[in-house]
Amino acid sequence: MNHSEKDIIEGCRRNERYWQEVLYRQYFPTMMRMAMRYANDRETAASIVNEGMLKVYQKIGSFGFKGSFEGWMRRLVFHTLSDHYRREKKHLHFMVFEERDQSTPVNALSDLYEEDILAMVEELPPSSAEVFCLYAIQGYTHVEISDLLGISVGTSKWHFSNARKKLQELLKQRRYAG
């Protein structure tokens, strides 16, 4: 049965189990694909997505029908993913940054902890954050990212450039504030 997004959201706001299950079944596969890009295994990814879906149910009342509901959900699940790896610091080794081009000084990130960088990445627009993580953290190429996300190579490069620019602005703000 095909339900409208608005019906699903309203049903979940009323805390009705039926609508919560509909939401879960509809969006779990998409959120799972996103989590699998970062998690080491399906069990960890599923656990993270389930925790993220719980946050979705708890915060669904704050969704204001401005922008994409799926994007809003992705942001919550991505925050859950970041929280998970902050708690599991032993896994943070996969988030070491490598400089991939020469336009940014190599020492620009050297005085930051991975947690600091992740916190700044969370402040980025979701699509740019996702591309940034795939390229800078996980080592995917822009061609691979375009295939994974169903976007053009140029769009992937734009999101990466946008993320870098915004991260540089955040770095400047923190250095002057700190």
> Using one digit for the tens of pLDDT, what is the confidence trace for 115-140?
567 778 888 898 998 888 878 766 67
Q: pLDDT by residue (tens digit) across 38-48?
A: 777 899 899 99
Spatial separation of the C-alpha atoms in residues 128 and 134, rounded to whole Å: 10
CATH domain 1-87 topology: Rna Polymerase Sigma Factor; Chain: A (1.10.1740)
For the full predicted model, state whether its pTM sits above 0.85: no
pLDDT higher at 72 or 103: 72
| Rg of the chain over all Cα atoms, to the nearest angstrom | 17
Residue 50's CB is within 10 A of a number of other CB atoms, namely 16
The rounded distance, in Å, linking the Cα atoms of 87 and 108 is 25
More confident residue, 127 or 177: 127
Q: Is domain 99-178 classified as CATH 1.10.10.10?
A: yes
Going from N- to C-terminal start, the domains of the chain cover 1-87, 99-178
